[in-house]
C-alpha cells in the first residue's frame, strides 16, 4: 500500500510516497541514491546494510520503511558530514578494511556502540560487531581501530 513516509535522514527532513512494505535499504539505495549502505545477504545476517534508526543499529534490508515514519535515520553518508568522522579516520589509520564492502555496516555498528558507551572494553566491541561479517578477515584491525578511539577517549596513547 502506498503511504507518505516522513522521517529525518542524515539531519534533513524527508518525505516520500512509497509502498509501506518496501525495505529501508532499497528506499535508501534506489529511491534516494544513497549507495553507501550495502546489500549483502538480504536476511539481516551479515550487517552490510546496517544503519542507525534513532541511534540504534538496525539491518535496513529487513526494516519495512513504514517503521521509520517520524524517526531519525543515519546512514554512512551522514556519519562524517563535516569531513571524516574520528571513527572513519581510525579505520583508515588501522587499515581496518580491505575490500571495503562491510565497512559502512561496521562503522555504523561501531558508532552505535560508541554513542552509548564512550569507552567499551574489547568484549563489548566484539559483542557489538559479532553479527557484522567481513569477507576479508579484517576483524582484528577493525577492533583495533575502535579500541584506539576508546584509548583516546580515556586520554591514553
- Whether residue 91 is predicted with pLDDT greater than 80 in this model: the reply is yes
Domain end marker among 51, 79, 107: 79
In this structure, the answer to whether residues 10 and 47 fall within a common structural domain is yes
Helix, strand and coil in the chain, % to nearest 5? 40, 20, 40
CATH code at position 29: 3.10.20.30
The pLDDT value recorded for residue 153 is 58
In this structure, the answer to whether residues 106 and 123 fall within a common structural domain is yes
In this structure, the answer to whether residues 50 and 96 fall within a common structural domain is no
Tell me the sheet residues that pair with 57.
52
What's the whole-model pTM score? 0.92
**Pairing mode, strands 72-74 and 2-9:** parallel
The pLDDT value recorded for residue 118 is 87
In this structure, the answer to whether residues 64 and 123 fall within a common structural domain is no
- Whether residue 149 is predicted with pLDDT greater than 90 in this model: the reply is no
CATH code at position 130: 1.10.150.120
Mean pLDDT of 55-78: 98
Total domains, the chain? 2
Residue 12, domain extent: 2-79
Torsion angle of the four alpha carbons 123, 128, 134, 139, in this order, in degrees rounded to the nearest 10:
-30
Q: Please report which residue ranges of 27-81 form alpha helices under DSSP H.
A: 76-79
In this structure, the answer to whether residues 97 and 141 fall within a common structural domain is yes
In this structure, the answer to whether residues 14 and 67 fall within a common structural domain is yes
Distance CA 116, CA 111 (A): 9
Higher pLDDT, 1 or 155: 1
Amino acid at each position: 500500500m502506498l503511504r507518505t513516509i516522513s522521517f529525518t535522514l542524515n539531519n534533513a527532513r524527508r518525505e516520500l510516497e512509497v509502498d509501506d512494505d518496501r525495505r529501508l535499504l532499497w528506499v535508501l539505495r534506489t529511491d534516494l541514491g544513497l549507495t553507501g549502505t550495502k546489500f549483502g545477504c538480504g536476511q539481516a545476517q551479515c550487517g552490510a546494510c546496517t544503519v542507525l534508526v534513532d541511534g540504534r543499529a538496525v539491518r535496513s534490508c529487513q526494516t519495512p520503511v513504514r517503521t521509520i515514519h517520524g524517526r531519525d535515520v543515519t546512514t554512512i553518508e551522514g556519519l562524517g558530514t563535516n569531513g571524516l568522522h574520528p571513527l572513519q579516520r581510525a579505520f583508515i589509520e588501522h587499515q581496518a578494511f580491505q575490500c571495503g564492502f562491510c565497512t559502512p555496516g561496521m562503522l555504523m555498528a561501531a558508532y552505535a556502540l560508541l554513542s552509548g558507551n564512550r569507552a567499551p572494553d574489547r568484549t563489548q566491541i566484539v559483542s557489538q560487531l559479532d553479527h557484522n561479517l567481513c569477507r576479508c578477515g579484517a576483524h582484528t584491525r577493525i577492533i583495533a581501530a575502535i579500541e584506539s578511539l576508546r584509548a583516546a577517549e580515556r586520554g591514553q596513547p
